[in-house]
Amino acid sequence: MRNDKKNKKGLSPVIADILLVALVVVIIAIIFVWFKGMVQEGITKFDQNIQLICDKIVFDADYSGGILTINNNGEPPVYTMKVRISEEGEFKTQEIQELVAESKWPDTGLRQGAVYSEAISFEEGVTKISLIPVLVGTNSEGKQKRFTCEGQYEKEINIT
């Protein structure tokens, strides 16, 4: 019986070391990907963090008679608007240019004091829409990036 235990060989120390190193590399990669997902890329506009520029967004919006009107009263130009369409407990989000075949939304964004007005029809059952401003800034590499100012910057409009 004792002789059988001596003939059995365990894992080679070299293979054990390779498996340990591989395990450590995989764990480090998982932690790196996890942290990278938590950190937002820095986007600036007017030499400020773009999240601070969201505080300067002020706009009025109204929907009546099938016409959506948006007036930019704030300082920064609003590059585009996302429209969250609520219908029977569900919602979908589209950019404002996608709602109309040939949208009149300005290519450079809605500048301060500018007014956007366009006939937009929503499907039956749509109860409300939320307008969510989108800004454009530059990242650390100098590339243009979009930033959506969600939450307190949204404007909700009831559709009647």
pLDDT digits (tens, 9 = 90+) for 63-75: 988 889 999 998 8
Rounded CA-CA distance 124/119 in Å is 16
Same domain, 145 and 67: yes
Q: Which residue has the higher pLDDT, 100 or 5?
A: 100
25 in the same domain as 94:
no
The residue range of the domain holding 6 is 2-38
CATH number at 82 reads 2.60.40
Do 77 and 154 sit in the same domain of this protein? Answer: yes
- Its pTM surpasses 0.75: no
Identify whether residues 75 and 141 lie together within a single domain: yes
Provide the number of structural domains found in the chain. 2
pLDDT tens readout for residues 8-54: 666 788 888 999 999 999 999 999 888 776 665 666 666 677 778 88
The backbone torsions φ and ψ at residue 48, rounded to the nearest 5 degrees and listed phi first, read -130, 160
Residues 70 and 133 in one domain: yes
Q: Convert the pLDDT of each residue in 116-143 to its tens digit.
A: 999 988 888 888 899 999 988 888 777 8
**In this structure, are 93 and 23 located in the same domain?**
no
